[in-house]
Structure 1
Amino acid sequence: MAFSRKKEKIIARMNDLQDGEMKEVNIGEKSILLVRINGKVHAVGAKCSHYGASLVKGILHGHRVRCPLHQACFDVLSGNIEEPPALDALPHFDLRVEEGNIIVSLPGGINDWRTAPMARHNPEKDGRSFVIIGAGAAGHVAAETLRQVGFQGRVVMVTRERHFPYDRPQLNKLYLKTNQSNTPTLRPKRFYGDHDIEILTESEVVHVNPSGKTVLFRDRSSLNYDRLLLASGGIPRRLEVPGAELPGILVLRSLDDANQIKAMADKASRAVVIGASFIGMEAAASLTQCGLSVTIVAPESVPFDRILGEEIGRMYKKIHEKNNVSFKLGTEVTRFEGADKVQSVILKNGDRLQTDFVLLGIGVQPATKFLNGVKLNTDGSVSVDRHLRVTEDLYAAGDIANFIDWRTDERIRMEHWRLAQQHGRIAAKNMAGQEAQFYSMPFFWTTQFGVSLRYVGYVKDWNEIIFQGSTSTRKFVAFYVKQGEVLAVAGCGQDVMVAAAAELMRINRMPTPKELRRDSIDLVRRLKE
């Protein structure tokens, strides 16, 4: 049996760190994060396992470090992951202190991250079958979490797509505008075999019978389950106007959708994007960067006005216009025209837009029509309790879940990648018999023409937006106030402040609107108080 050889190395002095401080130490091409808490130093990997950001630039609160980019959270005492979008834990290093020197025990090779220990399928110990419908953000994290918490029964993930789980946010943010042809998978295929996670691809569910605990597929085959997670995501909305069936009218939801758009864009010079929310605006930016002339059509007068407010919406509109994107706002499509494919988009105001193809970005509807015996809400979503449970042995997560906001007790539904991952993690723990409730902070991000915005929390109808900084400089924090409480924060060029806001909201220590109106507040300092 081979053992990895370790060596000890002095990497810092105790007086290099005060309590509550972090320090990144480079060792060759790798780095270690030192954290001092209550007089004791801990050592973990220095890079976030999501996209490799330096955690020293993030936020430390207690023994929890939050990445400044996409807000993955880790326990610095162990390196274990606490919040997605990261999938892997950080390596943890043993250390000792001698005469004020911090001496770390290093393995033969330093890895940037580590896969959390996972149970294997053992039908002799657990004969149950847990089925997950959907292999997106919620379904994928749920499958891994079941194994991480020790579930030894059968885990089956079902997807109507032909691909193994992939990083969906990359499609419109990066994949469209590059020559990248490799699938942005979340894990290599062998990972699922190594951890006994079955994936049924190209398997469309047409019926779920909760009373009989049966899943029926399009090919008339069936699958029995003991517990089921509904993580089926959303289906892109289509326009119901004349000509909507013409070839060349595309949507962007799946990897196959993205590949179809890329193939169309390679032969095109013009595109019309319908919709001025995140899919539409991000896709428009990507297509423009591919050299296309892009026009965005939407009924609102300002992009993002219902989600981010007019001021931030105007900022992004100006950024797009500076990059030669055209807008037709305050109007809508009345019909599409073309011979063998779409060639023109006719608007309500009478404008006719010539185009080589159309991309619809007008939202999604919950993919829940296959459910039987489960009450659906008017929007097609499924109501869950604080444990993400629909009924006994039936759970739902992600885009289809209408869940309880623990801060307001209001029911909400959000269509964001990281939130779906958070849902999947909590649902899986409850499926496995652990008592877990959803007390996390929703978060999403967008990047358009290199300008990124991060948003934490949730509020639908705010009374006021308080700004620190200015949208004109693209460096600001916006506080969304409803009924005297800050329920959401958006930031541009202020990643650390938004990360601090997430922690402050989580522990219920956000500044009051009165404080924010009176003076600019350093949220990082506030968190340390």
Structure 2
Amino acid sequence: MLADYTEAPVCHVDDLVDGQLKLVHVGDTDVLLARADGQFYALHPKCSHYQGPLVKGLLNGHRLVCPWHNACFDIRDGHRLESPALNGLPTHEVRIENDQVFVRLTTEKESLENPMSAPDEANPDTYVIIGGGGAGAFAAEGMREGGFTGKIIVLTESGEAPYDRPNCSKDYLQGKAPDEWMPLRTDDFYTDYGIDIRTRQHVTSLDSTSKRIELASGETIRYDKAVICSGGKPNPLPASGEI
């Protein structure tokens, strides 16, 4: 439930110029106020990635860049434009009365999934993504966000679905992140959007002419389009005496 006090004047029209960000308050709720092309927009004030303070970010037109890891959002609708953020930002209503800017709270959520298309069995096209890291996961979501309704297959040598790999050398390594924090998405998410994550799959060859992918298991996958997101190799810690 939203608090009873859901609307408040937050500034005067002339308090902000185009390209400026300001942290304002509606009751006890912090809101990020942004101005672009003479219009005001109100959003959740923290990045949906690691809660970076967006008021310290950069606003270029309608593009808001997080100051911590450069995740990008569209201030007009809150949609996530670029990784590493998974979700977009909730927005609030803005109105102008006389020379004052009013913000009305419309949600208490801290993040929202970008709109994505559902799979359609009538679409015969198959897109294959080789690599199950962050790039592969975002590629799959980008296809659905772009309106693709055919089959999406993600092939990864890992035994796990896409997970937060950078966090392996941060909070998780220090024992501060529980296992449930690590997956980028739930199994239900991939099921709902028809993204087939195939783990423990080693690709031996890809023929772009015949559009065939060969797996070490002997299976052959035919595709219409393929994306290679195989990433790099982890940098191991040096053993004692090698520093």
* TM-score grouping bracket, smaller chain normalisation: 0.7 to 0.9
Distance in structure 1 (CA, Å) of the matches to 2:83 and 2:33:
22
Equivalent residue runs for 1:18-417 within 5 Å: 18-19=16-17, 20-27=19-26, 30-107=29-106, 109-124=107-122, 126-178=123-175, 180-182=177-179, 184-235=182-233, 252=236, 273-274=237-238, 295=240, 297=242, 328=243
Change (3 A) 1:28 1:170: farther
Structure number with higher relative contact order (C-alpha < 8 Å, ≥ 6 residues apart)? 2
Give deviations 1:374-410, integer Å, cap 9, x for gaps: xxxxxxxxxxxxxxxxxxxxxxxxxxxxxxxxxxxxx
Distance in structure 1 (CA, Å) of the matches to 2:215 and 2:102:
58
Distance in structure 2 (CA, Å) of the matches to 1:295 and 1:27:
55
Change (3 A) 1:235 1:69: closer
Cα deviation for residue 16 of structure 1 reads 6.9
Partner amino acid, structure 2, of 1:141: F
Cα deviation for residue 35 of structure 1 reads 1.0
Cα deviation for residue 29 of structure 1 reads 6.0
Could you tell me whether the CA contact under 8 Å between 1:119 and 1:195 is conserved in 2?
A: yes
Cα deviation for residue 181 of structure 1 reads 4.6
- Larger helix percent: 1
Q: Which has the larger radius of gyration?
A: 1
Give deviations 1:24-60, integer Å, cap 9, x for gaps: 2244664321112243211122111110111001122
Distance in structure 2 (CA, Å) of the matches to 1:8 and 1:172:
41
Distance in structure 2 (CA, Å) of the matches to 1:158 and 1:90:
30
Change (3 A) 1:123 1:54: same
Cα deviation for residue 199 of structure 1 reads 0.6
Structure 1 portions without partners, runs of 5+:
237-250, 253-272, 275-293, 298-327, 329-529
Give deviations 1:402-459, integer Å, cap 9, x for gaps: xxxxxxxxxxxxxxxxxxxxxxxxxxxxxxxxxxxxxxxxxxxxxxxxxxxxxxxxxx
TM-score, scaled relative to structure 1:
0.42
Distance in structure 1 (CA, Å) of the matches to 2:174 and 2:27:
34
Give deviations 1:287-314, integer Å, cap 9, x for gaps: xxxxxxx8573xxxxxxxxxxxxxxxxx
* Cα RMSD for the two superposed structures: 2.4
Could you tell me whether the CA contact under 8 Å between 2:153 and 2:197 is conserved in 1?
A: yes
Change (3 A) 1:26 1:195: farther
Distance in structure 1 (CA, Å) of the matches to 2:25 and 2:66:
19
Change (3 A) 1:181 1:43: closer
Distance in structure 2 (CA, Å) of the matches to 1:30 and 1:200:
42
Give the 3-state SS of the residue equivalent to 2:173 in structure 1.
helix
Partner amino acid, structure 2, of 1:200: R
TM-score, scaled relative to structure 2:
0.88
Partner amino acid, structure 2, of 1:118: M
**What is the identity percentage for the equivalent residue pairs of Structure 1 and Structure 2?**
34
Structure 2 portions without partners, runs of 5+:
none
Cα deviation for residue 81 of structure 1 reads 2.1
Could you tell me whether the CA contact under 8 Å between 1:96 and 1:104 is conserved in 2?
A: yes
Distance in structure 2 (CA, Å) of the matches to 1:210 and 1:158:
17
Cα deviation for residue 8 of structure 1 reads 5.3
Change (3 A) 1:140 1:28: farther
Partner amino acid, structure 2, of 1:114: L
Change (3 A) 1:170 1:28: farther
Distance in structure 1 (CA, Å) of the matches to 2:229 and 2:177:
28
